[in-house]
Chains A and B, each alone.
Chain A
Amino acid sequence: AQSVTQLDSHVSVSEGTPVLLRCNYSSSYSPSLFWYVQHPNKGLQLLLKYTSAATLVKGINGFEAEFKKSETSFHLTKPSAHMSDAAEYFCVVSDSGSQGNLIFGKGTKLSVKP
């Protein structure tokens, strides 16, 4: 069965410093992986997705993630945090046992200090 583990429940950075949100996955096949962001009182928004093309995936708002099969990781990074990046971030794997339904991690709350 597929699963994702987000290694930090809360990450705090200063504005202008790099962001690293860690995610490890478990899958017996080549997975489709995603990062979603959830701002308070707003819907989940897709940041980026990996579907077995390039291992370095660029997303919206300057975020990117690198798929590393040897480490079973899919960490999310951004070179310089902005106040508007403060939100909950979810690492997600597509469930191969169903019609493409999604399996979410528990989330990482990102705080950005001025």
Chain B
Amino acid sequence: DTGVSQDPRHKITKRGQNVTFRCDPISEHNRLYWYRQTLGQGPEFLTYFQNEAQLEKSRLLSDRFSAERPKGSFSTLEIQRTEQGDSAMYLCASSSARQRGDHGYTFGSGTRLTVV
């Protein structure tokens, strides 16, 4: 296990369609985070899990967005009824709770979503 894996790398979808992204964190990391990065901006926090519990959600996460981490391992982020404004890079990161305050995030390479 060499890092955080995200799938797919790229996704092009038509407006109104649903999309789902997957993130596989580093196996010993119990925290998992989703961020969104739009063109010319820094990443913005969306949500995070500790094990299978979703502990925090940003107000950026509208009702069309849902994230799960059913067994405390991989996570999925689903966007329903996609809009052009959803076009962005979706980044996943993981860390260990033991590193809280010391910060040990590892980011994946991201999934680039284009809504046409």
Contacts and interface: CB of A to CB of B under 8 A. Distances in A.
B42 interface: yes
A104 to B, nearest CB: 3
Interface string A26-50: 0000001010000001111110010
B59 interface: no
- Chain B, interface size category, equals 20 to 34
Nearest to B46: A101
Interface string A13-36: 000000000000000000010100
A51 B101 contact: yes
A114 interface: no
Contacts of A111: none
B71 interface: no
A103 B103 CA distance: 13
- Secondary structure at chain A's binding surface: helix, strand, loop or mixed? loop
A88 B70 CA distance: 34
Contact of B56 (A34, A99, A103, A105): A99
B25 interface: no
Interface residues of A, number: 24
A102 B43 CA distance: 9
Contact of B55 (A49, A95, A99, A105): A99
Interface of A: 32, 34, 41-46, 49, 51, 90, 92, 94-95, 98-107
Given A43-B109, A51-B102, A99-B50, 16 more contacts: A41-B109, A43-B3, A43-B4, A43-B107, A44-B93, A45-B107, A51-B101, A90-B42, A90-B43, A92-B42, A99-B56, A100-B100, A101-B33, A102-B45, A103-B45, A107-B40
Interface of B: 3-4, 31, 33, 35, 40-45, 48, 50, 55-56, 91, 93, 95, 100-103, 105-110
